[in-house]
Structure 1
Amino acid sequence: MTYIDCFIAPVSHANKEAYEELAQISAKVVKENGALRVVECWLDEFGPDASSYHSTEARLDSHEYSSFTSAAGASTGETVVMSYIEWPDKATRDAGMEKVTSDPRMQFQDRPAAFDGKRLIAAGFRPMLDV
């Protein structure tokens, strides 16, 4: 069964281009090492709020829900990036990520940081529904 790595991170609006460049490089390396799919998403700051995802009977006022912005700890001038990597299975993920994290192209020490890696929220997920 597939395995999903999911990430959210706050990124400065000013670093959008730098982050997109980093994402392109990372996606290439990750796919070379077994990933099936890489998706990077910028938060739609004018998109629907959490209340729109609930039935009218269960809906609360929008201010009563948390948000990706608060979950990621984004400050003024920052937005949230949500990313996921789809792998064929966890074993491929583990072997692939070991290669990815040691790949010289993934060190990025020759450029300014596009985001603060200490603020990255990441986890692995086992799909329970895939339709």
Structure 2
Amino acid sequence: MARYVDGFVVPVSTVKLDAYRRLARKAGKIWKEHGALEYIECAADDVKPGKLTSFPQSVKLKDDETVVFSWIVFSSRKQRDAVNAKVMKDPRLADMMDPTAMPFDGKRMIWGGFKTLVEL
């Protein structure tokens, strides 16, 4: 069964990684409560700058930051759109949406929706 995935790459200050983790736990619970199948957040462990492109280069990573790679799984794009609409209206998320209070630089975040090609 093909699913739909929202993917994210974001630079997070290493001193704010615990704050990011708290935000991600809260956000993940909200997404799952509204119907997301999976919510995954990963901190870079073996991610090096490349010669032409890389995760660090994609977000213009600074020395005091780490890359976070995340994805949310849905049953379809239609279900993703419905879930995201509910999530964006959820008042529990409102306090997390203030750009000045976020533990990351949202201007350098990369995101998009993806159709799965292979699922094993």
Q: Same fold (TM over 0.5)?
A: yes
1:48–1:21 Cα change, 3 Å = closer
1:28 corresponds in structure 2 to 29
2:11 is matched by which residue type in structure 1? P
1:51-76 per-position Cα deviation (integer Å, ceiling 9, x unaligned) = xxxxxxxxxxx853522011111111
Tell which structure's C-alpha radius of gyration is larger: 1
Alignment of 1:130 with 2:82, yes or no, is no
Identity of aligned residues (%): 37
Partner residue in 2 for 1:89: 76
* Contiguous gaps of at least 5 residues in structure 2: none
Q: How far apart are 1:105 and its partner, in Å?
A: 1.2
TM-score of the aligned structures, taking structure 1 as reference length: 0.82
Of 43, 68, 71, which residue of structure 1 is paired with 2:55?
68
How many residues are paired up?
Answer: 116
> Which amino acid is 1:96 matched to?
V
1:101 Cα deviation from its structure 2 partner: 1.2
Structural RMSD (CA): 1.8
| Amino acid of the structure 1 residue aligned with 2:86 | K
For the residues of structure 1 that align with 2:5 and 2:42, how far apart are their CA atoms?
15
- Show the 5 A alignment for 1:3-42: 3-42=4-43
Question: What amino acid maps onto 2:14 in structure 1?
Answer: H
In 2, Cα distance between equivalents of 1:71 and 1:63: 10
Which ranges of structure 1 fall in alignment gaps of 5 or more residues?
A: 50-61
Instruction: Provide the TM-score with structure 2 as the length reference.
Output: 0.89
Q: Report the 3-state secondary structure (helix = DSSP H, G, I; strand = E; otherwise coil) of the residue aligned with 2:11.
A: strand
